[in-house]
């Protein structure tokens, strides 16, 4: 009888541990899992965009690309941010590598719309650890990420050198604001 009650107590405590873990995980909202559905495009001087929505922006100069991110309209855009990373895929060792360049935020004269421009990217500093592993291809970032408010009214425009990539992700606030006391 004592062995049976210990076994029951073990099952009960195991059941609480499992159910406690399951309750701590938020349910996934399937309709928001892969949203928002963002459209992107890359245009050059020889193949400029024909979109009416961005015709006021300059065409990319020779050797440059115009990256356009078009955001879909959301119910509460104040709860979202876009994180932009500018960089290049490079063959690197185990050290931390950075790129150097100047990211300029430019306001389109007469319109008041902002866009970003990077004229030149160079190899930057890296740590100097001894590496025993072979080199691998990794995304090496220029400076820090750019975080911008989610705004579906106008596409995000970035002018980058041809061998440069732009990657992005969407951040969503999951909790309400709390007050300090």
Calculate the alpha carbon distances from 170 to 34, 36, 42, 86, 105 in Å. Answer: 10, 8, 19, 15, 20
pLDDT above 70: residue 146:
yes
pLDDT more than 90, % of the chain: 69
17 pLDDT band (50/70/90 cuts)?
very low
pLDDT above 50: residue 8:
no
pLDDT above 50: residue 105:
yes
Q: What integer pLDDT is reported at residue 175 of this predicted model?
A: 85
The residue written with tokens 């590598």 in the block is 97
Mean pLDDT rounded to a whole number for the chain: 84
C-beta of residue 151 within 8 angstroms of C-beta of residue 76: no
The whole-number average pLDDT for the span 53-66 is 94
CA angle 58, 62, 65 (to 5 degrees): 65
Q: What integer pLDDT is reported at residue 18 of this predicted model?
A: 40
Token pair, residue 62, equals 């020779």
Radius of gyration of the CA atoms of the chain, in A: 24
CATH topology of domain 30-172: Immunoglobulin-like (2.60.40)
Backbone angles phi, psi at 42, to 5 degrees: -125, 125
Q: Is 150 helix (H, G, I), strand (E, B) or coil?
A: coil
Least confident among 31-35, 137-141, 171-175: 31-35
The whole-number average pLDDT for the span 100-104 is 95
Strands in 46-134 per DSSP E: 64-70, 80-92, 97-107, 114-126
Q: Which is more confidently placed, 3 or 56?
A: 56
Residues contacting residue 142 through CB under 8 Å, at least 6 positions apart: 86, 87, 98, 99, 100, 101, 103, 118, 121, 164
């Amino acid at each position: 009888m004592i062995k049976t009650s210990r076994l029951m107590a073990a099952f009960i405590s195991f059941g609480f541990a499992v159910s406690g873990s399951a309750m701590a995980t938020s349910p996934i909202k399937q309709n928001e899992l892969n949203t928002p559905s963002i459209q992107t495009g890359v245009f050059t001087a020889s193949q400029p965009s024909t979109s009416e929505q961005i015709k006021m922006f300059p065409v990319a100069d020779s050797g440059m690309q115009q990256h356009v991110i078009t955001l879909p309209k959301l119910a509460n855009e104040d709860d979202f941010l876009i994180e932009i990373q500018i960089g290049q895929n490079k063959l690197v060792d185990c050290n931390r590598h950075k790129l150097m360049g100047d990211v300029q935020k430019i306001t389109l004269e007469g319109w008041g719309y902002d866009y970003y421009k990077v004229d030149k990217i160079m190899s930057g500093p890296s740590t100097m650890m001894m590496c025993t592993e072979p080199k691998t291809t990794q995304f090496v970032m220029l400076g820090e990420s750019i975080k911008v408010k989610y705004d579906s009214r106008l596409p995000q425009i970035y002018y980058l050198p041809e061998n440069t990539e732009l990657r992005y992700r969407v951040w969503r606030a999951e909790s309400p604001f709390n007050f300090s006391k």
